[in-house]
């Protein structure tokens, strides 16, 4: 069993090394807004290298509860994975001061640990002295207390990142709904969302490994950790595909202020809406609010204000509503068209998504709607 235990650490180390290499050399868009994400990937890769090297070292030593180097590595992972995922749904929130503020306590822990080790010998921590700052011969040891403080800190920051991520993701979805009608963007958000759940799995597994003294169970946890890291790495690489839209949507103002609209233009919405309908611009795949505002020669904030106040919905819902209205007309006027052809004509590339939006808007599926229309025409 000890050989399998060592193998689990080596397998985890190799996967971490490979992911570190991928993170170092993955091609990213040359855009100022992705700079923080690029930095987080580079730092994350070095953290993976450190954790991989530590796994190799740890495989040759007996299991010890709350090993401080592993705890520090776990804290680094919590910060880097947490910040990078928050950065993905809000690329403008992570800045230098934010990073310094988050990592200062970590380096303080490392500094204290180095100082303590200069005056105290290393103290193994097991269940019999887990909740007491006592080491050998009942003597007080600062190292034990520091490791317990580090563990509490790890749990607290993990919880904070979870709360902050889901808050930022919700805001990101709202901004994208006001920015674009491209459903692929929301699929991209789903990949980020899924990746973050695996990150939560990594944090949970790290805690379990920290408290595990059984070789068999620890081996299983190591292989579980290996699987989680691989999945997160794969999902992480999906981000550059949707980055630009998420970054651009960051300028969307969710507070639709009446002051942004000139009084002279408040009665012109019906005219602009007719222009949108006549141009069929809403049928363009992945259409954004910026593109329509440019077509109408108006400010994006004004267009967003009118859609929200006059149409009582966000941009994404507005576009889908216009598309489905056109689809209903095509079902009546061109019964020979297939639903896939109609979906393409009104701006959808996925028939399943078209059917889902059709039912959300009309209350019935396209086939049910077509049958009702044919029944009425007889």
Q: What is the pLDDT of residues 137-177, one digit of tens each?
A: 556 678 778 888 888 898 899 999 999 999 999 988 888 88
- pLDDT tens track for 87-105: 888 877 877 788 888 889 9
Top mean-pLDDT range of 90-94, 252-256, 315-319, 371-375 = 315-319
Q: Rounded to 5 degrees, what angle do the CA atoms 255, 260, 264 make?
A: 140
Place of tokens 């040359």: 30
For the structural domain made of 316-378, what CATH number should be given?
1.10.10.60
Pairwise CA distance, residues 46 & 68, whole Å:
19
Query: Domain 2-249 belongs to what architecture?
Result: Up-down Bundle (1.20)
For residue 273, the surrounding DSSP H or E stretch is helix 269-279
Per-residue pLDDT at 374: 78
Pairwise CA distance, residues 82 & 103, whole Å:
12
Per the document, the length of the chain is 378
* Mean confidence (pLDDT) of the chain: 81
What are the boundaries of each domain within the chain? 2-249, 253-312, 316-378
* pTM for the full predicted model: 0.80
Pairwise CA distance, residues 80 & 76, whole Å:
6
Cβ count near 100 (within 10 Å): 10
């Amino acid at each position: 069993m000890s050989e399998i235990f060592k193998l689990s650490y080596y397998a985890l180390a190799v996967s971490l090394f490979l992911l570190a290499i991928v993170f170092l050399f993955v091609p990213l868009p040359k855009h100022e807004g992705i700079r923080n994400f690029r930095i987080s990937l580079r730092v994350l890769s070095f953290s993976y290298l450190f954790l991989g090297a530590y796994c190799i070292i740890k495989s040759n030593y007996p299991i010890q509860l709350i090993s401080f180097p592993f705890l520090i590595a776990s804290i680094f992972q919590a910060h880097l994975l947490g910040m990078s995922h928050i950065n993905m749904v809000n690329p403008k929130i992570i800045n230098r001061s934010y990073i310094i503020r988050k990592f200062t306590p970590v380096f303080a822990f490392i500094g204290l640990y180095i100082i303590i080790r200069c005056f105290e010998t290393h103290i193994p921590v097991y269940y019999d002295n887990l909740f007491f700052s006592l080491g050998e011969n009942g003597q007080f040891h600062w190292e034990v207390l520091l490791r317990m403080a580090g563990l509490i800190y790890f749990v607290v920051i993990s919880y904070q990142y979870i709360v902050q991520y889901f808050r930022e993701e919700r805001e990101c979805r709202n901004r994208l709904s006001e920015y674009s009608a491209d459903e692929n963007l929301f699929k991209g958000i789903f990949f980020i969302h899924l990746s973050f759940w695996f990150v939560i799995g990594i944090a949970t597994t790290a805690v379990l490994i920290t408290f595990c003294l059984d070789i068999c169970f620890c081996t299983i946890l190591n292989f579980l950790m290996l699987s989680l890291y691989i999945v997160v790495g794969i999902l992480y690489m999906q981000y550059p595909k949707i980055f630009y839209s998420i970054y651009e949507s960051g300028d969307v103002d969710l507070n639709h202020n009446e002051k942004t609209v000139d009084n002279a233009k408040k009665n012109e919405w019906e005219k602009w809406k007719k222009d949108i309908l006549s141009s069929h611009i809403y049928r363009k795949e992945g259409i954004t609010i910026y593109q329509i505002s440019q077509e109408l020669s108006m400010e994006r904030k004004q267009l967003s204000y009118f859609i929200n106040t006059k149409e009582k919905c966000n941009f994404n819902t507005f576009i889908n509503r216009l598309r489905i209205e056109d689809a209903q007309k095509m079902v009546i006027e061109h019964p020979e068209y297939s639903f896939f052809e109609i979906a393409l004509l009104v701006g959808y590339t996925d028939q399943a998504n078209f059917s889902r939006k059709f039912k959300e808007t009309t209350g019935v599926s396209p086939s049910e709607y077509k049958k009702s229309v044919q029944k009425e025409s007889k």
